Amino acid sequence: MTRIGAGYHTVEERLRTLEERVEEQTRTIDELRNRDALKTQFLSNVSHDLRTPLTAIVTHAEILRDGILGDLSPKQLESICGIISGGRQLIGMVGEILMYARGAADQLSLTPTEFAIGTVIEQVTSQVEPLAVKKGLEIGVDVEKDMPPLCADREKITHILSNLLGNAIDFTEHGGRVWVNASRTTTVQSAASVLIEVGDTGIGIAPEHHELVFREFAQVDASASRHHHGTGLGLAIARKFVELHDGRIWVESAPGVGSRFYFTVPVHASC
């Protein structure tokens, strides 16, 4: 009797201890979530505040470049153009951080319209073409005939494509090849979708990093001596945008051979 009673008491006590522990863990998780949200908010505020002076710097430099305040010597012009492209690069990075912060805070929504995916691919490709040419890369586009029009957020699809294509160019050495293909496909739930492939013959990604690269701030080579400088947010944002459309994004790649990034967008997901 005493033993059973004591045992019962012990079980009850242990239960209570466990409950207390669960409560404590829940509090810790909540606390961490709050701090994470605060940091995201901080990131967003800082980026906002960086953007204003950056824009002013670039605009002042453009005023000088365009000769509004008088003529410049060719050397001065070259220097001013350096300020402008550096400033633009920074504005672009700040924009990525802001976009990421909004995604993390679930503040992103879709503004869908109907458009031809082929047109968007052409646009993005012609935008990055000078970069590719400068690096001596061959760039190819192949869009399947009679693709159905896509109803999606055109700006976001454009953003995904320029990020993937930008990476393909960044991580491919002189003389390599990059390409964009688009074709029809169906999802597991058999919804009509488009499948877009952005491929390159560049440095590739080791299998153990295939998941990692889609994480925010992840860079395979994060050493200070790395050649490539970016925020490490491009693919995290791309993934967010694809998922907003109920699509999927993944990579197939082998070091030294090249990478193929794929994403799908259901044709009618957003309309």
Partner 1 sequence: MGAHILIVEDSALVVSALRILLEDAGHRVSDAGSVRAALDIARSDRPEVMLLDLALPDGDGLSVLETLSNDGLAPRVTVAVTGRDEPHIIARCKRLGCREVLVKPIRAMALPTQVAEWLAE
Ligand X SMILES: Nc1ncnc2c1ncn2[C@@H]1O[C@H](COP(=O)(O)OP(=O)(O)OP(=O)(O)O)[C@@H](O)[C@H]1O
- Minimum CB distance to partner 1 smaller for 237 or for 249: 237
x-or-dash string of contact with partner 1, 13-32, rule CB under 8 A: --------------------
Q: How far apart are CA 145 and CA 143, in angstroms?
A: 6
Total residues belonging to the chain: 271
> From the list partner 1, ligand X, Mg ion, none, which binds 219 (C-beta under 5 to 8 Å, kind-based)?
ligand X
The encoded tokens of residue 14 equal 């242990």
Size of the site for ligand X (CB under 6 A): 24
x-or-dash string of contact with partner 1, 80-119, rule CB under 8 A: -----------x---x-----------x-x-x--------
**Segment holding 184, helix H or strand E:** strand 177-186
> From the list partner 1, Mg ion, ligand X, none, which binds 111 (C-beta under 5 to 8 Å, kind-based)?
partner 1
Q: Where are the alpha helices (DSSP H) in the chain?
A: 2-65, 74-104, 117-134, 154-170, 234-244
x-or-dash string of contact with ligand X, 85-124, rule CB under 6 A: -----------x----------------------------
Among 1, 4, 69, 188, binds partner 1 (CB under 8 A): 69
**Amino acid letter, residue 209:** H
Q: Is 112 exposed, middle or buried (0-12, 13-18, 19+ CB in 10 A)?
A: middle
Q: How far apart are CA 219 and CA 137, in angstroms?
A: 23
Q: Which residues bind Mg ion (CB under 5 A)?
A: 167, 234
